[in-house]
């Protein structure tokens, strides 16, 4: 963090980057105003402001961390900054498109999308299909010059699936066999496939997402504590087995 502060100051002091930063903020402000005027249900400005703030902060971090290596490889300091800026712009465009979709659509298609996500996690493990960079996990699809990591998509699909499940099953937390066990099994399959890549970090993040949604659904702290202990033991055992195998 201390090394990042000088980068933030340099970023803001450089005219070119400061102009880009101010343009992003002003464009985002206009975007929020137009959305609230044209839409019957105005967006959550707090969440949108937080997301846009994180995007700007990410640009600052990339600029601070990559200026030297960018100059060494490409002859100027801003290659990775502008590359990240392009992806940030694409992400904001996707954000706008998806904000126009009624959330009931995701509720309706949550189960087929979850099946699709699990299929992607299984396919990425196939040697001739999944891509494995040197000394890394087999967790990518190589699409030309681009790499796609299905576990990142599955994080979102799992949120859709679990949210939809607990919305349909209002008293799911009170019935283990028919309310909690099915989503736990689905989540277990997802986490297990990610561990097989092997990607313990992503598996832990998915497990954390599961715990947050279970807590939001009203599952008791006693049951959550049991699941935490079980998950830690399973991840630790799986990590030791993978280390021994590798």
Q: How far apart are CA 141 and CA 147, in angstroms?
A: 6
What are the tens digits of pLDDT across the range 234-246?
666 655 555 555 5
Report the 10 Å Cβ neighbour count for 126: 9
pLDDT value, residue 11? 45
Q: 147-169 burial by CB neighbour count: b if 16+ within 10 A, else e?
A: eebbbeebbebbbbbbbbbbeeb
pLDDT value, residue 82? 87
pLDDT value, residue 190? 94
pLDDT value, residue 113? 94
* Residue 175, beta-bridge partner list: none
What are the tens digits of pLDDT across the range 160-191?
999 999 888 777 666 777 778 888 999 999 99
Is the Cβ–Cβ distance between 132 and 74 less than 8 Å? no
Q: Tokens at residue 221, please?
A: 């702290």
State what percent of residues in the chain have pLDDT above 70: 75
Would you put residue 170 in left (φ > 0), alpha (ψ -120 to 50) or beta?
Answer: alpha
pLDDT for residue 8 is more than 60 = no
Q: What is the mean pLDDT of the chain?
A: 78
What are the tens digits of pLDDT across the range 65-83?
888 888 888 887 888 888 8
How far from 239 is each of 83, 149, 155, 200, 233, CA to CA, in Å?
35, 21, 21, 7, 10
State the Rg of the chain over Cα: 21
The strand ranges marked E within the chain are: 141-143, 146-148
Least confident of 22-36, 113-127, 172-186, 199-213: 22-36
pLDDT value, residue 180? 82
pLDDT value, residue 29? 55
Q: How far apart are CA 159 and CA 162, in angstroms?
A: 5
Q: How far apart are CA 14 and CA 51, in angstroms?
A: 24
């Amino acid at each position: 963090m201390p090394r990042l502060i000088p980068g933030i100051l340099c970023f803001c002091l450089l005219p070119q980057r400061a102009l880009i930063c101010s343009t992003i903020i002003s464009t985002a402000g206009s975007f929020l105003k137009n959305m609230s005027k044209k839409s019957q249900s105005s967006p959550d400005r707090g969440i949108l402001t937080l997301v846009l703030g994180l995007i700007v902060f990410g640009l600052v971090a990339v600029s601070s961390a990559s200026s030297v290596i960018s100059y060494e490889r490409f002859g100027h300091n801003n290659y990775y900054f502008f590359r990240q800026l392009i992806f940030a712009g694409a992400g904001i465009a996707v954000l706008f498109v998806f904000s126009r979709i009624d959330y009931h659509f995701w509720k309706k298609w949550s189960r087929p999308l979850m099946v699709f996500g699990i299929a992607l996690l299984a396919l990425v493990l196939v040697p001739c299909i999944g891509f494995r960079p040197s000394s890394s996990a087999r967790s990518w699809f190589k699409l030309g010059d681009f790499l796609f990591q299905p576990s990142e998509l599955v994080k979102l699909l799992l949120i859709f699936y679990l949210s939809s499940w607990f919305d349909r099953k209002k008293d799911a937390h009170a019935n283990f066999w028919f309310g909690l066990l099915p989503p736990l099994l689905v989540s277990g399959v997802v986490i297990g496939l990610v561990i097989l890549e092997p990607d313990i970090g992503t598996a832990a993040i998915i497990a954390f997402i599961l715990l947050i949604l279970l807590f939001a659904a009203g599952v008791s702290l006693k049951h959550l504590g049991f699941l935490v202990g079980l998950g830690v033991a399973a991840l630790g055992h799986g990590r030791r087995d993978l280390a021994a195998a590798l």
